[in-house]
Amino acid sequence: MPRAAAAVAGLAVAAWVSTRWVSLSPDARYSLAWGAELIRGDAPQVDAPEVSTPHPLPIVAGGLVSLLGARAAADVYAFGAVLAFALLVYAGFRLGRALGGTVAGVVAAALVATRERVDFFASRAFIDIPFAALVLLAAALAAEGPRRNATPALGLLALAGLLRPEAWGLAALYGGWVIVDQARPSRGQVLQNGRTRAEGPCWSARPDPGPCGIARPDPGPAPAATLALVAAAPAIWILFDLALTGDPFHSLHGTQENALLLERDTGLDDLGPSLRAGIEDLAGLAPAAAGAAFGAWGLVRFRRERPAFAVVMGLVGAGIAAFALLAVADLPLNDRYLVVPALALLALAAAAVPRATRSVVAAAAATLALVPAALALPDDLDAAGDGLEGAHSKARADEDLERLLSRDGVRAAIDRCQSLSAAASGRPAVAALLGRDPATVAISLSPVPPPGSATLSTSETVPPGTPRSVRVRAWTFVNRC
């Protein structure tokens, strides 16, 4: 009963936070608009110019919540963003605990929760937060029991692979390790005379010791099941792109085109500066260096926890390698794509804290991680507060847009007008609220449209007293049809 009450209270707090302090990013609005189209049986134009990259899981989720109506769907999506952030903090705790016990888990969770950039991404409902939560939780499961937890860990990576394709490589690496590990003779196969055999009287079908006094190990998932979990996400994504656009690799090609169009940082020349800036903004250079150094030391020093350190260090290396592959493929080098390796480094740094009194190396790593983090904490919290205030203002502006579009005169004018445009920041929200495909809403080049068209612009860009305009605080509709 106390747990149920705590769960209800937590959900109530999450609902309150989501409605006041979360605003939906354009990517989230595109997912809602496209998902609503799919539910209606229409094919969204995900290959139109200047639209978001389609991510299968958010679009399907957006379609399901769209059944509640446009406004309720946005609220539920924001609520999901808060739950994803909570899951990320919990995943940080589990990962830290796997590396160094409960104290390390609490420190890791605190570091994750107080990163200003992470808080910013969560308050805008970016998919990178649920993606990181799923990946870090999968890593924690793998660190706690590489073979025992293989199936749930691969399942989490499969879900993450429907949010971002970087999880495909992680699933392939982990799945490959599981299959190879199963093929090796395990300790349970070693007889007392030192020889091995696949089956025999030494085995026990139960986890308790058999005739030789050795328990049969958990065999883990069958190789076919492992391969199916590894292949599920890329297969679904490719089929999703093929069904909607005819191009099985549309997400890759479309993202490359948008990166060029929007002049994003891409290519190997920008890799080094983008990597350094991203790690610095997300984790801090000193805590990240402490995590990397202590992780390398832990691989050598801690025999019992060595598999856990190997999992997390491998996650860091794979995350940075994936970021480098983005540069090779001329894809955007956004700092959001470094959330996983940055937070994994923080978990490694947290693992030094409970060992600080027993080791000079651990004490140095803990000091290098915690002192800069503690000194920067007031500024980080101020920045996080400013970010939340910005999200709060943006959420209120979204409500203004909804009220503007709900006015009978405005809606009738939009329905009559053949040409509708909107400010780039509001285009996907306008489409979602009107039940249209975002491609049918042009990006406005001017707050006052040419004759024969109508536009929705932020009020600060529309001169007061503009003829045939309707203003609702942050948004203004100008009709020249």
Q: 237 vs 41, 43, 243, CA distance in Å?
A: 19, 16, 10
Instruction: Look up residue 478 and give its DSSP letter.
Output: E
User: Residues 355, 295: contact at Cβ < 8 Å?
Assistant: no
**What is the Cα–Cα distance from 129 to 175, expressed in whole angstroms?**
23
pLDDT of residue 212: 45
pLDDT of residue 24: 93
Instruction: Look up residue 52 and give its DSSP letter.
Output: P
Sign of CA dihedral 396, 401, 402, 404: positive
Count the alpha carbons within 13 Å of 195 in the hemisphere toward its beta carbon: 5
Beta carbons within 8 Å of 32's beta carbon, 6+ residues apart: 24, 62, 65, 66, 70, 73, 74, 77, 428, 432
pLDDT of residue 384: 84
- The DSSP-derived string for 145-212 is -TTTTHHHHHHHHHHHTTT-THHHHHHHHHHHHHHHHHHSPPGGGB-TTS-B-SSSTT--SSSS--TT
Tens of each residue's pLDDT in the chain, 481 residues: 566 777 777 777 877 888 788 999 999 999 999 999 999 999 999 988 888 999 999 999 999 999 999 889 999 999 999 999 999 999 999 999 999 999 999 999 999 999 999 999 999 999 999 999 999 999 999 999 877 888 999 999 999 999 999 999 999 999 999 898 877 765 444 434 444 444 333 333 334 444 444 444 566 678 889 999 999 999 999 999 999 999 999 898 888 887 776 667 778 888 999 999 999 999 999 999 999 999 999 999 888 888 999 999 999 999 999 999 999 988 889 999 999 999 999 999 999 999 999 889 999 999 999 999 888 888 888 888 888 898 889 989 999 999 999 998 999 999 998 899 998 889 999 999 999 999 999 998 888 888 889 999 999 999 888 999 999 999 999 999 8
- In which region does residue 116 sit, left (phi positive, over 0), alpha (psi from -120 to 50) or beta (all else)? alpha
Helix, coil or strand: residue 439? helix
pLDDT of residue 195: 45
Task: Tell me, letter by letter, the H, E, C secondary structure of 262-326.
Answer: CCCCCCHHHHHHHHHHHHHHHCCHHHHHHHHHHHHHHHHHCCCCHHHHHHHHHHHHHHHHHHHHH
**What is the Cα–Cα distance from 157 to 346, expressed in whole angstroms?**
21
Query: Full-prediction pTM beyond 0.85?
Result: yes
**Tokens matching residue 73:** 């769907």
**What is the Cα–Cα distance from 103 to 76, expressed in whole angstroms?**
34
